[in-house]
Amino acid sequence: MNDNEWKKSSREARYWHATEDGKVQCELCPRHCELKPGQKGFCLVRGNVGGKLHTFNYGFSVQATIECIETEAVNHFRPGSRILSMGNVGCMMACHYCQNWQTSQVKFLNDKNVHFYTPEDVVTHAIKNNIEVISWTYNDPVVWQEFVVDTSRLAQKNGIKTLYKSALYIEKEPLKELIEVIDIFSISLKGMDPKMYKKYTKGELEPVLERIKEIGSTDRHLEISQLVVTGLNDDGTDARKTARWIVENLNSKVPFHLVAYHPAFKYNQPRTSIEKLLELRAIALEEGIEYCYLGNVYADGFSNTVCKKCNHRLVERFGLTVHVSGIDESNKCEACGEPTTIKEPHRGESQKLEIVNFVSEQKNHFEWNSEMNSIHVSIVDSSIDTAFKITRHPENRIEFVKISDGLERLILSKSFSEETGVTIEADRADSINYLPVLDRAHFPVVNVSPQSDKYLN
């Protein structure tokens, strides 16, 4: 990506005003950066250009990736849906344990990991790959406001749903604009301790809580997640306070996800254990949460949805593998007839792809382990369609997947507890990268040396 490609994205931003002393003040997030000409904000992707606030990352994204909706801590909207995940560069926060620091923190960014898309590109990619949900994710989409809104409006016109995965450190007016075009909000609430928020995320807690309540007062779908960080918010206090706050300010039926973290960036405590997540889940249920799920866990029984009346299993989940097993066509429990809270439960079930004359040009085998239960398959040359044959071991079950229309990446995950690994064959002989995914919020990048943020100067 050359300098001209970076520069073409610079355009006047929304949500700012000029000050009397010749500066501009950003009104997108509660940080309210006040900037001299030539100065960039905290996020490093918005700045003062000639006395106007510009956004520098319009259309810039990590590789668009085919994933499933559960990747975004969303369990009660079209379970198992394929989504097109879009992640930008820069962030309005700086979490010590950031799971995607190589792209959220611009000073570490290498432009080899960045691609340019227009709103039309994103929607076209979704349509041609039969994807009905576009997700704004990975690096927080707050600092991508203009591109998110423009693309989401276009998606709406084409019957495509939009999903917003965010820490929601945003002001009231831009959130109102988002509510007009976003169908699903998955909010990452870092904790309930204002001091922790300030020290470890460089944000403030209270504005986040206020924005979540504003979403909760609308008809938009809402789910809440909390990354459980070892030694930081895992002693039960935050889980209890968060669960109680959800019940008192939203609804006991709002799904709450407790998500395991992996050591990253400036924070190197051990990965969250299943035992710890189960301990916190018990606390959340005790506080009245009706649906509490465990994230980044590849084990049986931890993220199923069951009927609250008769305990019949409605949706079976293993990691990112989903089967709607107990909901009838009228969205009721098949066992007792109780209505479910899951929206459009059968809309997301994928149709199996069959390729009769598949010709393998390359083959790679990967063993699952305690650190890696998912992998991103990244195509270097996306100018042609690519088909993959996936063999799951030890049962040697075969499935096919395909990437079309210029898309470059998809996720593959362990699908059942006894699965030991996968063999991936491609119908092309040229270079394909296989990148381990450390958790569902993690976007792995090609390991290249960082460059400066020259494109923002």
Q: pLDDT tens digits, residue range 20-65?
A: 888 999 999 999 999 999 999 999 999 999 999 999 999 998 889 9
- pLDDT at residue 452, as a whole number: 34
Residue 185 has pLDDT above 90, yes or no: yes
CA atoms of 145 and 59, how far apart (whole Å): 11
- Asked whether the beta carbons of 302 and 314 are under 8 A apart, the reply is no
Confidence at residue 349, expressed as pLDDT on a 0 to 100 scale: 67
Query: How much is the pLDDT for 2?
Result: 45
For the stretch 299-355, pLDDT in tens is 888 899 999 999 999 999 998 899 999 999 999 999 999 999 999 999 986 667 889
Alpha-carbon radius of gyration of the chain:
22
- Reported as a single tens digit per residue, the pLDDT across 213-248 is 999 999 999 999 999 999 999 999 999 999 999 999
β-strands 115-116, 161-166: how paired? unpaired
| Confidence at residue 305, expressed as pLDDT on a 0 to 100 scale | 96
Q: Quick one: what percent of the chain has pLDDT higher than 70?
A: 95
- Residue 455 in this model has a pLDDT that exceeds 60: no
Taking a C-beta distance cutoff of 8 angstroms, is the pair 133, 161 a contact?
yes
Q: Determine the pLDDT at residue 5.
A: 54
Phi, psi of 366 (to 5 degrees): -135, 135
What is the pLDDT, as a whole number, of residue 322? Answer: 93
**pLDDT of 416:** 92
Does the pLDDT value for residue 444 go beyond 80? no
Minimum mean pLDDT range among 97-106, 272-281, 322-331, 432-441: 97-106
pLDDT surpassing 60 at residue 449: no
Determine the Cα–Cα distance for residues 34 and 40; give it in Å rounded to an integer: 9
Q: What percent of the chain has pLDDT over 90?
A: 73
Residue 430: other Cβ atoms inside 10 A: 12
pTM for this entry: 0.93
